[in-house]
A and B are shown apart, each in its own frame.
Chain A
Amino acid sequence: MLLALRRKAIHGIRFSSGKCGQNLSGSTIGPKFTSDKEVEEFLSKSTWDVREYVPSSVDEKLIPSEETVVRLLKISGLPIKNIDQIQIRLANQLSFINRLHNLPVDENINPNHARIIERNPTPLDYEGLIKGIASQQKSDSLGEISGSWDPTKTAAVKRDGFFILREGLLKGRD
């Protein structure tokens, strides 16, 4: 009873998370705990179970085709083997992340704000950029040392600033 009342109170001061006021999720703060019993009751309940996220069996609809897996392996630069196992593993992983599809989200949200950096930094201007370039210095600790690295070292054929890599960089290629 106490928990039910408390929950009602919590929802009574719900804050919306979206700018347009849609009740998409939001966080809420309930009234202060006033007794040990309230704390005990609050902590003894849970509103969801993370184990629900782990499927008890593989959802066959989510198993990617062999063609898809081969394509993924190629763009990943990984060996094309154990395709059956990868299909099952990927299906399990997708059951986990596809939960996102059905979640409501404020479409006005700027996805670039997901980075933990200033959302509205002072914009760079032309003068600032020019000043920045003028004051730029090489940093030894960043490895910016002239002549310290020759990227064309392994090229046997080079002329007038152009080079062809036939060996060294790529081994065993026809």
Chain B
Amino acid sequence: MSIKTALSRLQQIPEIQSRYNVFTYVNERASSQLESIDKNTTADKPLNYTLAAIKDNIATKNMPSTCASKILDGYMSPFDATVVSLLLEAGTVIAGKANMDEFGMGSAGIHSHFGPTFNPLFDHKDRVIAGGSSSGSAAAVASGVVDFALGTDTGGSVRLPASYTSTFGFKPSYGRLSRHGVISYAQSLDTVGVFANDLSMIDRVFSLLDKHDKKDPTSLSEELRHKFTSLTTKRKTLRIGIPEEFSQESVPAEFRAAMTAIIKRLMKKGHEVYPVSIPSVKNALSIYYTLSPAEAVSNLSRYDGVRYGYRAESDVEDGTLFTPTRSAFGPEVQNRIILGNYNLCSESFKNNYIKAQKLRVQLINDFDRAFRFPNVLSGNSVNKDGVDIMLSLTSTSFPTTYDEVVSEENKNPLNTYINDIFTMPMSLCGLPTMTVPAGHAFGIQVFSQHGNDYELLDACSEIDALVNS
């Protein structure tokens, strides 16, 4: 990393921004911040001269944090998120806040108060989507204006845009990276993730952020982290599972061909590959769309205009408090709030919410029985004949154009909900999962048991080498 490279990246931002709408806020002081490192540095910091984009739902003290929503227009957090503090201490300069689907709700990157983000792999005139919800983070990395980006992944929001933009997108185990300062969408699923164009950068950033944080009640304790380390093994021969439920006839032939080629190469290298069946994966979408809107309702109830961001002229409409202010939520956010409240109503609570919770536990248990790395959190018995990692596709299709997505959504919003079918099961179980680019605008997912992040990273290096061989 050099200051020359970093400054040259910064110079490209205005053009990239005008074409692809990557940022919600560009840090105009980034050049001077880089230059001040040069003058003041007495000791080398691990991420000196690196530039990062930070998703706009991660709090930053010196830049607005809006979740790409009108309701948080101009909001300045009084503190930095823990992950941001750690990056700044390590010498990173933040190039700007990255565009996103409002509050993380979307898989195409089109539901933003700041307008849609487009995919830098394509001509901007084609208006191809970058995927969401971490659309700007993926696009910032794909366009080369930053070294890495932070996103958040609730149901696939790091991995899907990584696939569409041919970047690496890593969602670590739930609880590995601090959520303190991450503006919640669905707190039982929200996970900070990392985008980069190469695995070594993902590794560097992840290792730096992988720390217990007492400010985050769901942060994995030091004791648990020690257990994970003691259980991690460097294996020459991996047992690799291919879950059959992640196979869909509708996927493009190129996707299937790439998966087949990678598996064949892994077998040739001596790894053992097994068919796996986890039928409960089919329930993931229904579980996710029951639980996540219900959690979102609670998290978004605080936006009344009194304490944060935008506030309407009046506080009452039709006898309901704060409706004029809350009308500022975008249509997709409003849809999910209504659905969440429906799921929490007494009539549907037992049928929907509790049932979904139980099915989520069942899904976790089913994955526990497929992996040989133990699930330290569940304490379920270990399957010594289980697999070490699993492979699947990340997306069901290539990214389409903005107009096509809007048209599909208008026909039926569920058409875009099913885009996340390959990513949601791992979110519900908190599994570490990486999208590894496997071709132009598509990638494969490599995932492992909760806590087994470092063995997963090693496996991804080998798979990446095979993809490029």
Our verdict on whether A and B bind, yes or no, reads yes
Q: Which A residues are closer than 8 A to B by beta carbons?
A: 6, 10, 15, 17-18, 24-33, 36, 39-40, 42-51, 53-55, 64, 69, 72-80, 86, 89-90, 92-94, 96-101, 103, 105-107, 109-120, 139, 141-143, 169-173
Q: Which residues of A contact B450 (CB under 8 A)?
A: 116
Q: Are A172 and B315 in contact, CB atoms less than 8 angstroms apart? A: yes
Report if A53-B276 is in contact (Cβ < 8 Å); known contacts: A27-B369, A36-B264, A172-B314: no
Interface: B361 (CB within 8 A)? yes
Q: Which residues of A contact B329 (CB under 8 A)?
A: 78
- Chain A nearest CB from B396 CB (Å) reads 7
Q: What is the CA–CA distance of A55 and B364 in the complex, to the nearest angstrom?
A: 28
Q: Which single member of A92, A98, A110 contacts B361 (CB below 8 Å)?
A: A110
Report if A27-B361 is in contact (Cβ < 8 Å); known contacts: A43-B259, A169-B306: no
Q: Are B369 and A17 in contact, CB atoms less than 8 angstroms apart? A: yes
Q: What is the CA–CA distance of A112 and B354 in the complex, to the nearest angstrom?
A: 9
Q: Which residues of A contact B446 (CB under 8 A)?
A: none
Q: Which B residues are closer than 8 A to A by beta carbons?
A: 78-79, 174-175, 188, 215, 218, 224, 241-242, 244-245, 247-250, 256, 259-260, 263-264, 267, 272-280, 282-283, 285-287, 289-291, 297, 301, 304, 306, 313-318, 320-323, 326-327, 329, 334-335, 337-339, 341-343, 345, 351-352, 354-362, 364-367, 369-370, 376-379, 383, 385-387, 396, 412-415, 417-418, 421, 429-430, 450
Report if A97-B358 is in contact (Cβ < 8 Å); known contacts: A50-B421, A169-B306: no
Residue of B nearest to A77 (CB): B326
Report if A173-B248 is in contact (Cβ < 8 Å); known contacts: A50-B418, A73-B338, A141-B215: no
Q: Which single member of B174, B290, B301 contacts A100 (CB below 8 Å)?
A: B290
Q: Are A48 and B245 in contact, CB atoms less than 8 angstroms apart? A: yes
Q: Are A27 and B370 in contact, CB atoms less than 8 angstroms apart? A: yes
Q: Which residues of B contact A98 (CB under 8 A)?
A: 352
Residue of A nearest to B291 (CB): A114
- Chain B nearest CB from A70 CB (Å) reads 9
Report if A100-B359 is in contact (Cβ < 8 Å); known contacts: A39-B273, A78-B327: yes
Task: Please name 17 further chain A to chain B contacts, defined as beta carbons within 8 Å, in addition to the given A97-B356, A112-B357, sorted by A numbering.
Answer: A10-B277, A26-B369, A29-B275, A29-B276, A29-B277, A29-B383, A30-B276, A39-B273, A46-B244, A47-B245, A50-B418, A51-B250, A54-B412, A64-B342, A78-B323, A114-B364, A142-B215
Q: Are B287 and A74 in contact, CB atoms less than 8 angstroms apart? A: no
Q: What is the CA–CA distance of A143 and B334 in the complex, to the nearest angstrom?
A: 30
The contact sample of 12 A-B pairs, CB cut-off 8 A, is: A15-B369, A33-B273, A39-B273, A42-B275, A50-B285, A53-B286, A72-B341, A76-B338, A97-B289, A100-B286, A103-B355, A171-B313
- Chain A nearest CB from B242 CB (Å) reads 7
Q: Which residues of A contact B245 (CB under 8 A)?
A: 47-48
Report if A25-B249 is in contact (Cβ < 8 Å); known contacts: A79-B327, A116-B450: no
Q: Which residues of A contact B352 (CB under 8 A)?
A: 97-98, 100
- Chain A nearest CB from B38 CB (Å) reads 28
Q: Are A43 and B79 in contact, CB atoms less than 8 angstroms apart? A: no
Q: Are B285 and A46 in contact, CB atoms less than 8 angstroms apart? A: no
- Chain A nearest CB from B88 CB (Å) reads 13
- Chain B nearest CB from A109 CB (Å) reads 5
Q: Are A54 and B418 in contact, CB atoms less than 8 angstroms apart? A: yes
Q: What is the CA–CA distance of A134 and B426 in the complex, to the nearest angstrom?
A: 40
Q: Are B366 and A77 in contact, CB atoms less than 8 angstroms apart? A: no
Q: Are A49 and B248 in contact, CB atoms less than 8 angstroms apart? A: yes
Q: Are B275 and A6 in contact, CB atoms less than 8 angstroms apart? A: yes
Residue of A nearest to B345 (CB): A72
Q: What is the CA–CA distance of A10 and B277 in the complex, to the nearest angstrom?
A: 8
Q: What is the CA–CA distance of A139 and B181 in the complex, to the nearest angstrom?
A: 14
Q: Are A54 and B415 in contact, CB atoms less than 8 angstroms apart? A: yes
Q: Are A27 and B366 in contact, CB atoms less than 8 angstroms apart? A: yes
Q: Which single member of A30, A44, A100 contacts B283 (CB below 8 Å)?
A: A100
Residue of B nearest to A54 (CB): B414
Q: Are A78 and B334 in contact, CB atoms less than 8 angstroms apart? A: yes
Report if A79-B317 is in contact (Cβ < 8 Å); known contacts: A29-B386, A39-B263, A142-B79: yes
Q: Are B174 and A50 in contact, CB atoms less than 8 angstroms apart? A: no
Q: Are B272 and A170 in contact, CB atoms less than 8 angstroms apart? A: no
Q: Which residues of B contact A103 (CB under 8 A)?
A: 283, 355, 359
Q: Which residues of B contact A79 (CB under 8 A)?
A: 317-318, 323, 327
Report if A44-B304 is in contact (Cβ < 8 Å); known contacts: A54-B418, A77-B320, A97-B289: no
Q: Which residues of B contact A110 (CB under 8 A)?
A: 361
- Chain A nearest CB from B254 CB (Å) reads 13
Q: What is the CA–CA distance of A24 and B362 in the complex, to the nearest angstrom?
A: 9
- Chain A nearest CB from B197 CB (Å) reads 28
Report if A17-B362 is in contact (Cβ < 8 Å); known contacts: A29-B370, A45-B247, A100-B290: yes
Q: Are B286 and A97 in contact, CB atoms less than 8 angstroms apart? A: yes
- Chain A nearest CB from B70 CB (Å) reads 14
Q: Are B358 and A109 in contact, CB atoms less than 8 angstroms apart? A: yes
Q: Which residues of B contact A45 (CB under 8 A)?
A: 244, 247
Q: Which residues of A contact B343 (CB under 8 A)?
A: 97
Q: Which single member of A46, A75, A89 contacts B248 (CB below 8 Å)?
A: A46
Q: Are B285 and A53 in contact, CB atoms less than 8 angstroms apart? A: yes
Q: Which single member of B215, B280, B291 contacts A17 (CB below 8 Å)?
A: B280
Q: Which residues of B contact A49 (CB under 8 A)?
A: 248-250
Q: Which residues of B contact A114 (CB under 8 A)?
A: 188, 291, 357-358, 360-361, 364
